[in-house]
Chain A
Amino acid sequence: MYKLKVVDASKIFRRDGQEVVALQETTMQIPAGRFVSIIGPSGCGKSTLFNMIAGLIKPTTGKILLDGQNIVGKSGYVGYMLQKDLLLPWRTILDNVILGLEIKGISKREARKRAQPLLERYGLQGFENNYPPELSGGMRQRAALLRTLLYDQDVILLDEPFGALDAQTRLQMQEWLLRIWEDFQKTILFITHDIDEAIFLSDDIYVLSQRPGKLKAKIHVELERPRTEETLLSDEFRSLKQTLLDLLREEPRENGTT
């Protein structure tokens, strides 16, 4: 039994009378509790795929099954986090984190009580009553992820959450994310175009090709957990990186455009 199945899902837009294929028919089967990365050049339809799974746009063909139930066009069934932290600047960190619970109809007081220990445990103690602009990029992403986590869905989509952070903070955040993933046993889908990040974090890596986006390969990462900075220097890591680099290099480049 797979947690999340994407069955022949595709997305075609019509722009100026011309059909633009954002994502060709794609099938994925993701078991519960996996950490899965999706990697590919920009414009390969990664975000389109996420928007479809999150129910924010409807696929042109195909189905999205969560626990066997079709969730096409239904939002709110999976957690979703974007590259921008999207914290509401007029709310404190604590009140940002409880946003999902509030929408579910849980009282502010109760929601705060539930969120408080999470903030303390995951590196935001002392920042509860600060406003987002007062925090560093890394801290804001932590808050944004905790918000998604507290919404309490089994599947969480992360769209390049650490893309805007510097290398040092990034590594810290990756380790932090792995800790959370192990504690909460969520199924995580993670978009990135950083190969190191994909290998470091994932059980499986899906490689998508350039537009029109198409699933090109699925790589299983057998690196032992828990992974640390040393993992990044191991031979296994390097050979996986080579494989992925080769896969991405085969891409025919468009001339002059990105």
Chain B
Amino acid sequence: MAQPEKKRYIEDEKKRQQRMKRIVFGGQIGLGVLVIVLWEVLTRYEVMDPYYWSSPSTIYETAKIAFLEGTLWNDLVYTSLATLAGFASGTLIGSLVGLSFWWSAYYSRISEPYLIAFNAIPKLALGPVIVILFGIGFFSKVMLAFLMTVIVTALAAHSGIKAIDKDLEKLLYSLGAKRRHVFTKVVVPTTMPWIVSSLRINIALALAGTIVGEFISSRQGIGRMILYAGQILDIDLVWVGVVVLSILSLLMYAGTVSLEKLLLRGQEPKQ
């Protein structure tokens, strides 16, 4: 009598993971497409009023015109540069301020409450003052983006400083290290994951700072374009601005993620 062949069931982890990845990716794309299609259909059949909601196709057409005229490009470059400059300077100076607290416990403890108080100020409310101080040009936007990011970074770096292992410092001193060695070899690398964890928030904050700066008073920038379009009731153009800003924000976020990888080289970001 022939034995029936036994069925073997082998769990293939790799296959399962690949399958999951495919489904998730497909689902993500599908959801995006669905939202856009719904938006288009609902506004076309006037379930949603196309005057307020515009529609993906109109936004696309309006954007094409704006790009072809060149003004949207100029605005985009203006806003991007102001954001990046504010982000870079805010992060850099914030990190330096935070790191400087390692050098003196007195200095650190005396200034900490002020740092927290300054963090509590809604920086955007300072917008008009910044514009009066620095004018309506490029620099006032950079300043607002800078203010939005600098304290957040300083506080993040300060948390990193507090988490430094005292025994590591001790070890370095036993190896004959001076304070500057401890600073470069232990303090900066230990604090890096904290600083890096603030980058993703910072890029969004910097963009918000720039846009508000452009709202208050500006000759260029996506923020100014949105404000202008709103004033002349060109709601399609407002939507173009919002969509372009969203894409810009996503790109900058992606850039930040690669910057993180570069700065950490194997370490994990910390909160």
Tell me if chain B binds chain A. Answer: yes
Which residues of A are interface residues toward B (Cβ below 8 A)? 54-56, 75-76, 78-80, 82, 84, 86, 88-90, 99-100, 102-104, 131, 147, 151
| Closest 8 pairs between A and B when the two form their complex, measured CB to CB | A76-B176, A80-B174, A100-B175, A75-B173, A86-B171, A103-B177, A90-B189, A103-B181
Give the Cβ gap from A202 to chain B, nearest Cβ, in Å. Answer: 22
Cβ–Cβ contact B189 & A88, under 8 A = yes
Cβ < 8 Å to A, chain B residues 156-176: 165, 167-168, 170-176
Q: Counting CB contacts under 8 A, is B246 at the interface?
A: no
Q: Which residues of A contact B174 (CB under 8 A)?
A: 54-56, 75-76, 78-80
Cβ–Cβ contact A86 & B165, under 8 A = yes
Of the A-B pairs whose beta carbons lie under 8 Å apart in the complex, a sample of 29, sorted by A's number, is: A54-B174, A55-B174, A56-B170, A75-B173, A75-B176, A76-B173, A76-B177, A78-B174, A79-B174, A80-B171, A80-B174, A82-B167, A82-B171, A86-B167, A86-B168, A88-B189, A90-B192, A90-B265, A90-B267, A99-B172, A99-B175, A99-B185, A100-B176, A102-B185, A103-B175, A103-B176, A103-B185, A131-B266, A151-B175
CA distance A84 to B170 in the complex (A): 12
CA distance A78 to B186 in the complex (A): 21
Q: Which residues of A contact B167 (CB under 8 A)?
A: 82, 84, 86
Cβ-closest chain B residue relative to A147: B175
CA distance A131 to B268 in the complex (A): 14
Cβ–Cβ contact B175 & A56, under 8 A = no
CA distance A79 to B167 in the complex (A): 15
CA distance A131 to B267 in the complex (A): 10
Q: Which residues of B contact A86 (CB under 8 A)?
A: 165, 167-168, 171
Query: A99-B172, A103-B176, A103-B185 known; 19 other A-B pairs, CB under 8 Å?
Result: A54-B174, A55-B174, A56-B170, A56-B174, A75-B176, A76-B177, A78-B174, A82-B167, A82-B171, A86-B165, A86-B167, A88-B185, A88-B189, A89-B267, A90-B267, A102-B185, A103-B181, A151-B175, A151-B176
State the main secondary structure of chain A at its contact with B: loop
CA distance A102 to B174 in the complex (A): 14
Chain B count of residues within 8 A CB distance of the other chain? 19
Q: Which residues of A contact B168 (CB under 8 A)?
A: 86, 88
Cβ-closest chain B residue relative to A131: B266
CA distance A55 to B189 in the complex (A): 26
Q: Which residues of B contact A82 (CB under 8 A)?
A: 167, 170-171
Q: Which residues of B contact A80 (CB under 8 A)?
A: 171, 174
Q: Which residues of A contact B185 (CB under 8 A)?
A: 88, 99, 102-103
Cβ-closest chain A residue relative to B265: A90
Contact with A along B256-271 (1 / 0, CB 8 A): 0000000001110000
CA distance A104 to B185 in the complex (A): 13
Q: Which residues of B contact A76 (CB under 8 A)?
A: 173-177
Give the Cβ gap from A239 to chain B, nearest Cβ, in Å. Answer: 37
Give the Cβ gap from A156 to chain B, nearest Cβ, in Å. Answer: 10
Cβ < 8 Å to A, chain B residues 219-271: 265-267
CA distance A89 to B270 in the complex (A): 14
Cβ-closest chain B residue relative to A99: B175
Give the Cβ gap from A69 to chain B, nearest Cβ, in Å. Answer: 16
CA distance A102 to B192 in the complex (A): 21
Give the Cβ gap from A60 to chain B, nearest Cβ, in Å. Answer: 20
Q: Which residues of B contact A79 (CB under 8 A)?
A: 174-175
CA distance A139 to B181 in the complex (A): 26
Q: Known contacts being A56-B170, A99-B185, A103-B181, is A90 close to B175, with CB within 8 Å?
A: no
CA distance A80 to B170 in the complex (A): 9
Give the Cβ gap from B263 to chain A, nearest Cβ, in Å. Answer: 11
CA distance A76 to B186 in the complex (A): 17
Q: Which residues of A contact B165 (CB under 8 A)?
A: 86
